[in-house]
Amino acid sequence: MHPAASVILFTVTSGMGYGLLALLAVLGSLGMLPPDPGLGLAGLGTALALITVGLLASTFHLGHPERAWRALSQWRTSWLSREGVLAIMAYPPAVLFGGGWVLAGRTDGVFALAGWLTALLAVLTVCCTAMIYASLKPIPQWRNRWVMPGYLAMALATGAAWLALLASVFGIGRGLTDIIAILGLGLAALVKLAYWRHIDSAAPIATAAAATGLGGLGQARLLERPNTQENYLQKEMGFRVARKHANRLRRLVLIGGFGLPLVLILAASFLPAAMSIWLLALALVGVTIGALVERWLFFAQAKHTVTLYYGAATV
Per-residue model confidence as pLDDT tens digits over 190-202: 999 999 999 999 9
Q: How many CA atoms lie within 13 A of 241 on its CB side?
A: 20
For residue 82, pLDDT over 90 is answered with yes
Tell me, what's the pLDDT at 65? Answer: 73
Predicted structure pTM score: 0.94
Fill in the DSSP letter of residue 71. G
For residue 159, pLDDT over 80 is answered with yes
CB of 158 within 8 A of CB of 291? yes
Q: How many CA atoms lie within 13 A of 92 on its CB side?
A: 5
Tell me, what's the pLDDT at 220? Answer: 80
Fill in the DSSP letter of residue 207. B
Per residue in 251-305, pLDDT (tens digit) is 999 999 999 999 999 999 999 888 899 999 999 999 999 999 999 999 999 999 9
Contact residues for 132 (Cβ-Cβ < 8 A; gap 6+): 79, 80, 83
Phi and psi at residue 228, in whole multiples of 5°?
Answer: -85, -20
For 84, counting Cβ atoms within 10 Å of its Cβ (0-12 exposed, 13-18 middle, 19+ buried), the class is buried
Per residue in 162-189, pLDDT (tens digit) is 999 999 999 999 999 999 999 999 999 9
Of 29 and 221, more confident: 29
CB of 139 within 8 A of CB of 302? yes
Tell me, what's the pLDDT at 210? Answer: 86
CB of 257 within 8 A of CB of 294? yes
Per residue in 109-145, pLDDT (tens digit) is 999 999 999 999 999 999 999 999 999 999 999 999 9
For residue 60, pLDDT over 90 is answered with no
Is the C-alpha dihedral spanning 41, 42, 48, 53 positive or negative? Answer: positive
Is the C-alpha dihedral spanning 146, 149, 151, 154 positive or negative? Answer: negative
